[in-house]
Amino acid sequence: MDYRKIIDEIYREVKPMFGNGKVANYIPALAKVDPKQYGIAVVTVDGQLIGAGDYQKKFSIQSISKVFTLAMVMRHMGSDLWRYVGREPSGSPFNSLVQLEHEHGIPRNPFINAGALVVTDKLMSLYDRPKESILRFVRDVADSEDIYFDNEVARSEQEHASRNLALGYFMKSFGNIENNVDSLIDVYCNQCSITMTCEELARSFMFLANHGINPYRHDRILSISRSKRLNALMLTCGFYDESGDFAFRVGMPGKSGVGGGVVAIIPGRLSIAVWSPELDKHGNSFMGIETLERFTTDIGISIF
C-alpha cells in the first residue's frame, strides 16, 4: 500500500476546504488558534510514518484525552466500571445535562463530558497523583517525553467550566461522583489541555491498533478483550452526536476533540491522526472527517 501517495493526494484535495467550519470559541484560549492549519500523520504496525502539512505542530487534544483516561481506568476496574457509566450512544451534544435526570446520574457513555467526568473521578480514586499519572501514561503510549499540559488552555477551561461543574455536582447528588468536584474539574481540564502533534497522537493510539500492546515498550496496556471493547466504544460514541454518520462514512474506531484533532485506527494495520481547527456543527473537525472518509475510500479498507 502506497500510503505516501494516498496521503499527499488527500492533503492536496482537502487543503482548499478552509472556511467550512469554525474554531471552538467557548474556550477563549482555543478561539485564538489560527484556523488555517492542517496536518495528517499515519503510523503503521510495521513502523512506517507518513506525514503531511502541519503534522508536527502541537495542538490541544481536548476530548481525545478521554480515551487515555478510559484505558487507564479499564485496566484496573474492568467490567465494574459499567456500573457507573453506560456504553450507549447519547444522540445528544457532548455537554448535555438532559439525560442525566432521567437516567439517575448515570451518563450514557464515557466520551460525553458527563461520562468522562465519571471516568476521571474513578482515576482520581485509583492514582495518588492523577495529573502526573495521566501525563506519564500518554508519554509512554506515544513514546515521547515532549508532551505536556498547556497551562493557558487548562486555566481558560477552568474559568469557563460552569457546565462541567454543573454536570459534576448533579452526578454527585446521585452518588455517582466520589471526589471533590472542584478537584475533579481541575484534573479534567488539565487532561483536556494536553498538547500533542499528529505524529505523537497517531503513535499514542497504536496500542489500540495492536490489540492492547504498546509496540514501543512492548508492555500490555489492555487485554485483547478490553482493547476490542474500547475500540467498539470509539466507533459508536467517539464523535458525539455525529458518531453514527462517522461510522457510516469512515468505518473506523476513533475519537475527536474540539481542538480540531481526530484520530482513528484500523486494528492490526495502522493509526491515523488529523488536525484542522475548524469544527463542524457537532464539534468535530470538518477537514479531519473529510480526510478520514477519503482515506478509507482510497485504501479500500475499513473495519467493515
Tell me the catalytic residues. 63, 66, 188, 240, 258
Residue 112 Rama label (left phi>0; alpha psi -120 to 50; beta): beta
Cell numbers at 133, concatenated: 499519572
Alpha helices (H) along the chain:
3-14, 28-31, 65-77, 98-102, 113-126, 130-142, 151-159, 162-173, 181-193, 198-204, 206-209, 224-237, 243-249, 286-299
Angle ∠(168,91,275) on CA atoms, nearest 5: 80
Q: Can you state the angle between helices 113-126 and 162-173, rounded to 10 degrees?
A: 70
Q: Is 163 exposed, middle or buried (0-12, 13-18, 19+ CB in 10 A)?
A: middle
Distance CA 2, CA 5 (A): 6
